[in-house]
Amino acid sequence: MPLPILALAIASFCIGTTEFVIMGLLPEVAADLGVSIPSAGLLVTGYALGVVIGAPIIAIATASLPRKSVLIGLAMLFVVGNLFCAIAPNYWMLMVARVVTAFGHGAFFGIGSVVAANLVPRHKRASAIALMFAGLTLANILGVPAGTALGEIYGWRATFYAVVAIGIAAVIAIVLLVPATKEEQKGGGFRSEIKVLGKLQVWLAMLISALASAGLFAVFTYIKPILTDVSGISTSAVTWVLLLFGAGMTVGNIIGGKLADWKLMPTVIGTLVALMFIHAIFAEVSGNAVAAIVVVFVWGVLTFVIVPPLQMRVVETAEEAPNLAATLNQGAFNVGNASGAWIGGAALTWGVSYQNLPFVGSALAVIAVLVAVGSWVLDRRAGQARLAFDEGERLSLEPLAGL
């Protein structure tokens, strides 16, 4: 891994741990602050809302600034935010600290993906983005379990102090390892960033991201009752199955970067088709514990095979001024998270069983495939039009060349 991208990966590990570790600490937080566990669970919702709201605000506010400086500032925001989480005297102060910290989440991954892509040759850009996102996947495998264990032994505040230490290391790594931003690597400015949002392909790319994420969370939000009630897996074993899912995400992240560098849109479409089938297979075999565990691992792989290509797609379609679009794509993933969880819950309320719930994920994947195919067709037509125009220009200039 190139050292500058390693620095970004350390920061993404810190951010991923910040986002997800609270889920394993809810009982400790609730008991210490004197609130119910459902109230403590709103700390997860508050963070997600902070990501969605903060992403465009931060991206627009920093549109004309050097990207390295912005990344340093966002990493420092996570250090300060987690420090306030650690010392929060009550529930509402902790909620405010979580929301403010989340403001930097989408912008960091959005701008960081642009920086990572610019650090390598064009044919390796998606792999570079995947390497940066590796920190996020490793946070689920290493950061969250370690943070949960630390919080159970020394108290939940100790976990946030540990994240502060990781954040400081990330700030130092970015300062020392990420090269100084060149003039052309600055944001395009407010007008350029807004102008890019007028491109249909940018919005289609973000819609695919939201649909892919919704398909995941429509099912994954309820993975524990599926594994325990349908597959017959013990509650204690579910943790290990989820770690296997996280391992699959890490593998898929690297595979996705390689495939996207080879063929970007075919990778997006092919992975969405595979997700459509893996959800359907999960519904059919979830009654068998061994088969369900195997499918969960494959599902984890496919879940993150799609992430680097989708982020690269947004960066590519908004190439003139990608900061805002790449950041909004992170918001699109979070919109998909929230809407997917709601869709899955609504399906259960309407009588869909846990065993059949993965078919809802399949349906959302079908819609995503249709959008992706439509976007690719538009690409190819635009490319053919450009070739025809260039050929026409060449033929019209040939007589002049002979004079």
Q: What is the pLDDT of residues 53-89, one digit of tens each?
A: 888 888 888 877 888 999 999 999 999 999 999 999 9
CA distance 125 to 147: 32
* 289 pLDDT more than 90: yes
Asked whether residue 99 carries a pLDDT value surpassing 80, the answer given is yes
Kindly state the tokens that stand for 310: 């989708």
Q: Would you say 145 and 18 are in contact if contact means Cβ atoms under 8 Å apart?
A: no
Which residues, including other chains, have CB under 8 Å from residue 236's CB and lie 6 or more apart? none
* Closest to 361 measured CA to CA, from 268, 247, 278: 278
Residue 153: is its pLDDT beyond 70? Answer: yes
Average pLDDT of the residues in 97-104: 91
The pair of structure tokens assigned to 335 is: 């919109």
Mean pLDDT for 325-345 is 84
The predicted structure's pLDDT at residue 402: 53
Distances (CA, A) of 69 to 77, 79, 113: 12, 15, 15
**Under a CB-based contact definition with an 8 Å cutoff, are residues 268 and 214 in contact?**
no
Out of 72-86, 92-106, 188-202, 325-339, pick the least confident. Answer: 188-202
> What is residue 3's predicted lDDT score, i.e. its pLDDT?
87
pLDDT 10s digits, 369-392: 999 999 889 877 765 555 554 445
Burial (Cβ within 10 Å: 0-12, 13-18, ≥19) of residue 344: buried
Q: What is the pTM of this model?
A: 0.79
Confidence of residue 400 (pLDDT cuts 50, 70, 90): very low
Report the pLDDT averaged over residues 386-402.
Answer: 50
Name all domains of the chain by residue range, CATH numbers in brackets: 1-187 (1.20.1250.20), 188-403 (1.20.1250.20)
| pLDDT band, very low/low/confident/very high, at 184 (cuts 50, 70, 90) | very low
Please, which residues have CB within 8 angstroms of residue 403's CB and are 6 or more apart in sequence?
none
Cα–Cα distance, 123 to 117 (Å, whole number): 10
> Which pLDDT does position 166 carry in this prediction?
93
Query: What confidence tier does 183 reach under pLDDT thresholds 50, 70, 90?
Result: very low
User: Would you state the pLDDT for residue 190?
Assistant: 65
Check residue 389 and give its pLDDT: 46
**Across the chain, what does the average pLDDT equal?**
85
For position 278, what pLDDT does the model report?
A: 96
Mean of the pLDDT values across residues 214-229? 87
